[in-house]
Amino acid sequence: MTENKKKQLRAIDAPFVALGPAGVTIRDRLGHLTPEDEKVLRLAGAHLGSLASRDLKARCADGLKHDTDMWAARKRDLTAESSSRWAGSITKATHDQWALSHRCQLAHIHNLEAGVRTLMHRLSRPIGDKGTKRVPGGYRSEHEWFVKSRRLAALERRLDAARAEREAGIVHVVRGGRRLFNIRHNLEKARLTETEWRQRWEAERWFLAADGESGKRYGNETIRVTPDGEVSIKLPAPLAHLANAKHSRYILASRIQFKHRGEEWGDRVHGNRAVAYRIHYDVARGRWYLTASWQRPVVKTIPLETARAGGMIGVDTNADHFAAYRLDRHGNPVGAPHRFFYDLTGSANHRDAQIRHAITRLLHWAKRAGVAAVGIEDLDFTAEKSREKHGRKKRFRQLVSGIPTGKLKARLVSMAAERDVSIVAVDPAYTSMWGAQHWQKPMTAPRRKTTRHDAASIAIGRRALGHPIRRRTTPPPQHQSDAVGHRTVQADRPARGREEARRPVTECAHDARPRTGNTQGKRATSASTTVRDALSAGQWVQDSLLITDEER
């Protein structure tokens, strides 16, 4: 590699062990509800949802001038129409929603700025100018140049408007979701009637969520779940007359049984530690669900050297499968490549289930292989989704946008922590290119075809282990005999003699001439290959010693 090419390569970040999950969420169905139970849940959710909408409107009006005094004033106003704890949950949810929208607004501005920079650069280049892999060239025709110039003007207007809104503290938030809100104008395409859409819209805008409180009975005073599964709700002040228990509480007829992480949840409930609950209604299925969540101490990660001790599994993430390869601690590929397929089409629940199923199979294989860590790329396609960057590559842009990097990383880290498997994140730079260059051809066998993704998984695993990706080529021998020896980087670095030539072997075909004693001609008689005439190594040494004694 020349010095100029070395300067063009960007710096590669060091691998690190990803932190474990900081929270847990479990869910169970509220079955066998009576009509009275559903009536109370609907009334409470609609009333608290209207209060949440009003509070969000007030928070958006405050903008950047918001402070703790304004927060306290909003909470006092809500307490009179609900309760102090309901008011605290509503104001906290409002604050989190506004902060999330504010962060998304900044990401949108960065995306617009990247698009404007790309358009300005390409418009400044001559028409038909070819670019490189790192620097785009000009546009292909005058018509395309004209269309892109108009798009540049549109993006600049949108960028100016977004910057002005951010400086003024204006955010755009839709309770219930903007996507569901826009479906109202495309009911035929969504295959929904107005009544069905209205039911979904109202259910999404209900508010039945309460934060936990450590030290309180069973960890939550607003929505209380006892260890035996009894669910009770603290009703707002206007609905206190519907209570069927003391202190304006309503006890549901349904019982909860958390089968997943039920023991961990039971320990928290018995210890009166904080557990947050949320009750929500699935309109499509006609079912009520209860979701429990709590924070947990961040799992202490093992040192990087400990994670590397037992080898590594390198994983290359693709649009439809995980390509995985097992490597020992020296960086040698072991066994055959594995592929774990998933389908990212369909609904969000289907995509999430596919990701979870593929991760489960990957982790099961990792446990069977006996490795303690999985190496994966630290992917973030936020800057790679730009329409201006990839231009006509619409299919590639859809491919990149379809990979759920954020959800994949969160799922993988949380599921791996439960199986005592560490996740080593590596820099994704050049893994596919160098993997195909150095590993695709050597790992291809007559009965096994190594794909580019398999080679990339080897590159990722070697980078996670701290080894260079490339293979050092074996030096060519000076002649037909093995005088140079086989040398590659497959041996461990501190191994003695790994840079030396292979030791000479005495019992090989090249010593057939001295053993037979035939010196006629240029070619000696080869040793006998029959079982009767062949001498073992021990017999030949013993006979040679006897001959020597007789001669003496």
Tell whether 30 and 176 lie within a shared domain.
Answer: yes
Note the pLDDT tens digit of each residue in 347-367.
Answer: 778 888 888 899 999 999 999
Tell whether 278 and 317 lie within a shared domain.
Answer: no
Tell whether 89 and 152 lie within a shared domain.
Answer: yes
pLDDT of residue 429: 87
488 in a structural domain: no
pLDDT of residue 511: 39
**Rounded to an integer, what distance in angstroms lies between the CA atom of residue 552 and that of residue 546?**
10
pLDDT of residue 537: 42
pLDDT of residue 96: 94
Q: Report whether 305 contacts 248 (CB < 8 A).
A: no
Tell whether 319 and 410 lie within a shared domain.
Answer: yes
Note the pLDDT tens digit of each residue in 215-228.
Answer: 999 999 999 999 99
pLDDT of residue 302: 83
User: 197 lies in which domain range?
Assistant: 23-295
Tell whether 400 and 428 lie within a shared domain.
Answer: yes
16 in a structural domain: no
- Token output for 106: 């900044």
Could you tell me the mean pLDDT of each successive run of 10 residues in the chain, 552 residues long?
Answer: 52 86 90 94 96 96 92 94 94 95 94 92 90 80 94 96 95 92 92 94 96 92 94 94 93 92 92 95 94 83 88 90 93 92 82 89 94 86 53 59 68 86 90 91 87 94 91 56 51 54 44 44 46 42 40 42
**Structural domain ending residue among the three candidates 431, 446, 465:** 465
**Rounded to an integer, what distance in angstroms lies between the CA atom of residue 173 and that of residue 103?**
12
The DSSP string of 338-372 is EEEE----S-HHHHHHHHHHHHHHHHHHHHHHT-S
Tell whether 419 and 541 lie within a shared domain.
Answer: no
Query: Phi/psi of residue 281, each to 5°?
Result: -115, 125
Tell whether 133 and 272 lie within a shared domain.
Answer: yes
The DSSP string of 52-64 is HHHHHHHHHHHGG
12 in a structural domain: no
DSSP letter, residue 524: P
pLDDT of residue 387: 59
Tell whether 268 and 403 lie within a shared domain.
Answer: no
**Structural domain ending residue among the three candidates 295, 323, 348:** 295
Tell whether 311 and 291 lie within a shared domain.
Answer: no
Q: Report whether 339 contacts 324 (CB < 8 A).
A: yes
Tell whether 386 and 243 lie within a shared domain.
Answer: no
302, 306, 297, 314: which is closest to 425 by C-alpha?
Answer: 314
pLDDT of residue 462: 94
Tell whether 423 and 520 lie within a shared domain.
Answer: no
The domain tally of the chain equals 3
pLDDT of residue 47: 97
Distances (CA, A) of 25 to 90, 154, 290, 411: 20, 43, 11, 12
Q: Tell me which residue has tokens 């062949």.
A: 534
6 in a structural domain: no
